[in-house]
Each structure stands twice: as C-alpha cells, then as structure tokens.
C-alpha cells in the first residue's frame, strides 16, 4: 500500500507538470477554435529561451519565467495575426496545416541554430532538483513547485475570465463570435490576445520544468502528444477539465509504468484517449463547440 500511495503522489505531481503545459492548448482552442499543432514547438522555444538566459545572464530558470512568457506571448500573438487570422474563414484543416507548418519550421530552425545536442540549464543552487517530504512520502521539489504554480495559474486565469472586462469579452467571443462582434467586441484583437495568452502560458511552463528536463529540438513532441490526450479527456476549452485530465493521466502514467511496464504506459492512456473519442467526444467536462 505504501508503494501504491507513493505512485499516486508521483502521478499527481506529474499531473501538475502536464497541466501547466496543457492549459495554453485548451485555452487557444476554447477561444480561437484552432488546434495548435505547434504547441510543443512553442514550449521548445521557451525552453531554449530559458537556457540562453541561464547561460548568458546567469538567471535561474524560475527567474527566467517573465522574459520567456513575454517572448512566447509575442510569438503567439504574431502567429495568430499573420498566419492564423488570414485563414479564419478557410476550412478547419487549412488552419491545422498552417500550425503543422509552423511546428516543422520552428523545429528545423532550432536544429540549425543549436544542433541536435541535448542541453541542460546550469543550476548550482539545486533549486527545483532536490527532494522533500510530503505527508511522509518523497517528492521532487521541482514537481511540487510546478504543481503549485499550475494551480495558481489556473485560478488566476479563471478569475481573469470571470471578473475583468477583457476576460468577459474573451468569454463572449468564445461563446458566440458573431454576437460578440455585434456587441462591439473586436473579435480579431481578442483572438490575437487569446492566442498570445495561450502561448505565454508555455513561458511559465518552460521556466518551471527547465531544471527537471533537458532541452533539444524535439523536446516539445515529448510533451505535446500527452497534452492532446489531456485536453480531449478534460474537454477542449475547459481549464478545470485540463487540470483534472492532467491529474488522471499523471496517475495512470505512474501506476502503469510501475505495474505494467515503463515502455507500455503510453499505450494505456492512449487507449483511454481512444475510448473518450468514441464514447464521449466532447470530453469528460466539455460542453461541445460553441456557436460561431
């Protein structure tokens, strides 16, 4: 039983890491209605930004969160303005192909700039890489910090969307684009802001996970496939669903890796993914696609 509880705790903390990566993906879809297949590559850009700030300015990854977030917000807003926005009236698969093209371009740009070497941030203080005791069990300090930040981030986003004028305009746009436009909401600007906000979340994710994971051009693929499972499981567009889906997948990952086999744990949650697509396509907490 002690091993089982330790595995569950490990899974919950892993879920916090997955949640902070998945939040931006579900936010972009919930508002802009575009599945961003370049999401993993934006995370990769954030990790390289954190690495460069660490190497050239000596910033700890946690301190590099702010500049990395601003960089990715600007990159996401630019992608929406110059790549996605001209395609808003096109078929959905055209928008998907555009995000796939951005993904390939970013990955190859990273290969050209940094090569295929695996890089790690310098962390002499050991902050974010040690262990601590949580209710009598061992836990990674980095994962605990990431879990706490993911909860704070989701809470902040929920508060922003519910209690600010801009947040209400974002929700109105997500619910019914044409009606929001008739009420005076500048839908194009809201889309630019929302896409930037979703990518900006990855700047926070990059800073939090950089002490725990190496940086290389395809690192985004390692995370984004799981992130897609999570947002489909939780319901595309649902922030709380993304959190709960992350916790569930984290626990499944931890238990399956121990009780079945580490190489087969992905099979387990991809079977869950297929089951959700078949029996509840809107996800456990999704309400379906809003009106246009």
DSSP string, 236-274: TT-HHHHHHHHHHHHHHHHHHHHHT-GGGHHHHHHHHHH
**Contact by Cβ (8 Å): 50, 207:** yes
- pLDDT for 282: 78
- pLDDT for 286: 63
- pLDDT for 287: 55
Whole-angstrom distance, CA of residue 25 vs CA of residue 273: 16
**Contact by Cβ (8 Å): 211, 129:** yes
**Distance (Å) of CA 135 to CA 247, 253, 258:** 18, 21, 21
Domain 2-116+138-279 top-level CATH class: mainly alpha
User: pTM of the full predicted structure?
Assistant: 0.93
Contacts (Cβ under 8 Å, ≥6 apart) of 271: none
Give, for all 292 residues of the chain, the pLDDT tens digit.
889 999 999 999 999 999 999 999 999 998 998 989 999 999 999 999 999 999 999 999 999 999 999 999 999 999 999 999 999 888 878 999 999 999 999 999 999 999 999 999 998 888 888 889 887 889 999 999 999 999 999 999 999 999 999 999 999 999 998 999 988 999 999 999 999 999 999 999 999 999 999 999 999 988 888 998 898 888 877 888 999 999 999 999 999 999 999 888 888 888 888 888 888 887 777 655 444 4
- pLDDT for 91: 83
**Contact by Cβ (8 Å): 22, 249:** no
DSSP string, the chain: -HHHHHHHHHHHHHHHHHHHHHHHHHHHHHHH----TTHHHHHHHHHHHHHHHHHHH---TTTTHHHHHHHHHHHHHHHIIIIIGGGTTS-HHHHHHHHHHHHHHHHHHHHHHHTT--B----TT-TTTSEEEETTEEEEHHHHHHHHHHHHHHHHHHHHHHHSHHHHHHHHHHHBHHHHHHTT--HHHHHHHHHHHHHHHHHHHHHHHTTTS-B-TTHHHHHHHHHHHHHHHH-TT-HHHHHHHHHHHHHHHHHHHHHT-GGGHHHHHHHHHHHHHHH-TT-SS-----B-
Whole-angstrom distance, CA of residue 162 vs CA of residue 286: 18
**Distance (Å) of CA 117 to CA 45, 110, 216:** 15, 10, 6
Q: Which of 150, 125, 112 is nearest to 54 (CA)?
A: 125
Q: Which of 153, 241, 167 is nearest to 203 (CA)?
A: 153
- pLDDT for 90: 84
Taking the CB of residue 91, how many other CB atoms lie within 10 A of it? Answer: 9
């Amino acid at each position: 039983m002690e091993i089982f509880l330790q595995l569950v705790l490990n899974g919950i903390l892993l879920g916090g890491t997955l949640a902070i990566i998945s939040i931006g993906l579900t936010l972009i879809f919930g508002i802009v209605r575009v599945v961003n297949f370049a999401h993993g590559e934006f995370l990769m850009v954030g990790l390289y930004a954190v690495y460069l700030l660490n190497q050239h300015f000596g910033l700890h990854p946690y301190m590099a969160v702010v500049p990395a977030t601003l960089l990715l917000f600007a990159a996401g807003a630019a992608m929406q303005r110059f790549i996605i926005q001209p395609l808003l009236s096109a078929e959905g698969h055209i928008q998907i192909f555009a995000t796939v093209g951005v993904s390939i371009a970013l990955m190859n740009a990273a290969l050209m700039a940094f090569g295929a070497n695996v890089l790690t941030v310098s962390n002499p203080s050991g902050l974010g890489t040690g262990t601590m005791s949580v209710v009598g069990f061992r836990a990674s300090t980095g994962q605990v910090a990431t879990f706490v930040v993911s909860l704070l981030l989701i809470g902040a986003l929920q508060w922003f969307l519910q209690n600010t004028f801009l947040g209400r305009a974002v929700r109105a746009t997500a619910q019914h684009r044409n009606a929001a436009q008739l009420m005076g909401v500048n839908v194009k600007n809201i889309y630019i802001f929302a896409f930037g906000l979703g990518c900006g979340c990855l700047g926070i994710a990059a800073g939090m996970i950089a002490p725990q994971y190496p940086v290389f051009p395809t690192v985004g693929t390692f995370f984004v496939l799981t992130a897609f499972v999570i947002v489909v499981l939780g319901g595309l567009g649902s922030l709380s669903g993304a959190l709960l889906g992350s916790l569930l997948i984290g626990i499944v990952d931890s238990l399956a890796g121990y009780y079945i086999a580490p190489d087969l744990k992905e099979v387990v949650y991809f079977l869950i993914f297929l089951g959700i697509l078949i029996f509840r396509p809107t996800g456990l907490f999704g309400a379906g696609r809003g009106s246009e």
